[in-house]
Structure 1
Amino acid sequence: MKCTALCMCAALLPVGFLQAGTQQIEAPQEGSVISFHLENDMFVGDDDNYTNGVRFAWMSGTTSRSHTFSGMLGTVLGGTNASDSWRRFMGMNGSANLRQQWGLDLTQLMYTPEQKATYPIYNQHPYVGNLTLGLTSLVKNEDRANSLELQLGTTGTNSLAKGSQHFIHKLWGMEQWPGWANQLPGEMTANLFFKRYYRLRGLEKRYGSGFETDALAYWHADAGTVKVQAGGGMSFRFGYNLGNTSPENSIRGATSAAPPFVYNRMSVSNWGYYGYIHAAVRAVAHDLYLDGTVFRSSPKYVNKYPVVGEWGYGFGFRYKRSELLFGLHYMTKEYTQQESMQCVGILQLRHTF
């Protein structure tokens, strides 16, 4: 009898320890996120080509439940609602910490030529504005993430680009751009942006002084009336108490206000700061901002390059759940008549509840 009781206890102990261990390593759920993102070439004293981009975004808190709005949207990305085979195909298998989020964003992008004139300037970037409302789904675990965003919007006068630029230039006492009457015509736009993230464990290191490094890589594929393109890139960070953040977050493609990976560290300092470097390349089959509108005829202004590169650097500061990031990103020439590559300043504010 004693031997039987001991055997039963020995059999039950591993189960208890496994359950306790699972509870200890399970990543905490994340709160909802709001963010403001600004991209502008005036940070470097310029004002042409891609001249301004602004986004206000919100992401829900994470959930591992299937029967939620996040779970339903995340099915196509390999979320908890997906079949085992589809989840495996989407790279979301093999992790107990599968998380899902959804979000909304309002984005305005603005483009102008290199010279000011009241008449159309061919061989230079056309005037273009695009105002979009985006719906984002994000499915992630500790090492991978899938992001899918549907953007619906409008070009032309309904994009409010002319009024936005006029207001900002008047506020700061800057010279106005007089050629918005020649902007590309107004039409409805629709685009899908997909991005797959990979956490690069080999570059993730921690040192006794609190100094850390981490890195991510990604590839993306976009299709619609605005962009038909594919590409990839990589970001590397170095600093103190990095926390669960990511500097790779351009608003000109698939992005989300929330970090792209599940974070299972239970104790992180209230403050942190870091520097980052970033590099990317993309192959472009269609670009509305250079090729013209799809359903309404528009003049041909420029001939675009089929491949565009981008690289940049910057720094970020985090205090508790709030983060500020500033960087400079450089883009190679996007069309054959462009005078030189372009530099854009990036400012991002984010808070997690």
Structure 2
Amino acid sequence: MVVVAAGPVGSLSAVAADETETGTLSLVFENDLFYGTDRNYTNGVRASWLSGPDGTPDWALGAARWFPLFPEGGTVRTSYAIGQNMYTPDDIALRNPPRDDRPYAGWLYGSVGLIAETGRRLDQLELTLGVVGPASLAEQTQKIVHEITGSQEARGWDTQLKNEPGVVLTYQRSWRGFVSESVSGFGFDATPHAGGALGNVFTYANAGLMLRLGQRLPLDYGPPRIQPSLPGSGFFVPQEGFGWYLFAGMEGRAVARNIFLDGNTFRDSRSVDKESLVGDLQFGIAVTWRNVRLSYTHVLRTREFEGQDEGDDFGVFSLSLRF
């Protein structure tokens, strides 16, 4: 990701200026277990590192200057991430699930990105490379976790999507403080966003809005999430002392490609007819203390494919540690 602030590329914004900051580690865990289900998008984990303002390599500074959608001035940061997503049909007890249900699939990936932050605006550009299919190790991960937790064994992994390398290029822009007021000692802001993704795994355009209300609001754009979702970010600048905020957001996506529903690109595999328009509604709480941000998010997602009985509910825990 890339962060750009007012001033020349590579400089610090007034809000984010902290020469002692070396970077931010963020851990994200998404799962539908919190709401008693085990289906569709059932699990996602991601670990990421966002560099400090002085840890940006020359290639990243050059890329920030070259990319036309980034602001001309600001603080540039790089991000690196690894993660794994897991998708299953409605009934994981069946060895041969119905062909009109979501296919089994896994996604193992690594990402490198740039962010540019100005104090009011965040631009994020990220390139993700990975693999879909048995090589994603999603089957092994789920079996180990289910054995530890005593959950139902997933028996249909032999029907999962075939191995396929995946690539996704994503870009998001968020405008923090589009509305920013103080109400009875509480801070409030609204952050609209827009962007999209291009690749053989995901291709979509998205737009949405997030609202925050709390005390000692950190400079951030919402807690980090696993794409596709409302963007969020590992980036945050805490205020003095203990802070907290409640947040709620919504996003709509026009989806042209979702390999986990459309099936493999170049090989025969299971597939279903996807919905072209998908919406997310999320709400939760984030707390900050010194250089730590902890958050929980509840996500409601509309149906993603034809024949899906109902939308999805899942929860998200995230922890960001600023060093």
Scaled by the length of structure 2, the TM-score of the pair is: 0.89
| 1:40 match | 31
Counterpart among 210, 218, 223 of residue 235 in structure 1: 210
Structure 1 residues 128 and 294: alpha-carbon distance in aligned structure 2, compared to 1, 3 A threshold: same
Q: In the aligned structure 2, how far is the partner of 1:142 from the partner of 1:257?
A: 14
Bigger Rg, structure 1 or 2:
1
Structure 1 residues 25 and 99: alpha-carbon distance in aligned structure 2, compared to 1, 3 A threshold: closer
1:49-97: per-residue Cα shift (whole Å, max 9, x none)?
00001001101112498x72431232333xxxxxxxx4xxx3614x6xx
Higher percent of residues as helix: 1
The answer to whether structure 1 residue 225 and structure 2 residue 200 are counterparts is yes
Q: In the aligned structure 2, how far is the partner of 1:253 from the partner of 1:334?
A: 12
Structural mapping, 1:171-182, within 5 Å: 171-182=148-159
2:139 partner letter = K
| 1:80 match | none
| 1:3 match | none
The answer to whether structure 1 residue 125 and structure 2 residue 102 are counterparts is yes
Q: How many residues matched? A: 308
The answer to whether structure 1 residue 189 and structure 2 residue 179 are counterparts is no
Counterpart among 117, 121, 126 of residue 140 in structure 1: 117
Give yes or no for contact 1:91–1:144 (8 Å, CA) kept in 2.
Answer: no
| 1:342 match | 312
Structure 1 residues 91 and 182: alpha-carbon distance in aligned structure 2, compared to 1, 3 A threshold: closer
| 2:3 match | none
Counterpart among 93, 101, 111 of residue 87 in structure 2: 111
> Shift in Å at residue 253 of structure 1?
3.6
1:197 partner letter = S
| 2:176 match | 199
1:246-303: per-residue Cα shift (whole Å, max 9, x none)?
325321248575327xx6xxx932211111001000000111000001122213x311
Identity %: 28
Structure 1 residues 133 and 270: alpha-carbon distance in aligned structure 2, compared to 1, 3 A threshold: same
1:319 partner letter = W
SS in 2 for 1:119: coil
| 2:254 match | 283
| 1:269 match | 240
SS in 2 for 1:323: strand
Scaled by the length of structure 1, the TM-score of the pair is: 0.82
Q: In the aligned structure 2, how far is the partner of 1:57 from the partner of 1:25?
A: 25
Structure 1 residues 347 and 27: alpha-carbon distance in aligned structure 2, compared to 1, 3 A threshold: closer
Q: In the aligned structure 1, how far is the partner of 2:277 from the partner of 2:296?
A: 26
The unaligned stretches of length 5 or more in structure 2 are: 1-11
Structure 1 residues 114 and 27: alpha-carbon distance in aligned structure 2, compared to 1, 3 A threshold: closer
SS in 2 for 1:170: helix
> Shift in Å at residue 131 of structure 1?
0.2
SS in 1 for 2:52: coil
> Shift in Å at residue 325 of structure 1?
0.3
The unaligned stretches of length 5 or more in structure 1 are: 1-22, 78-85
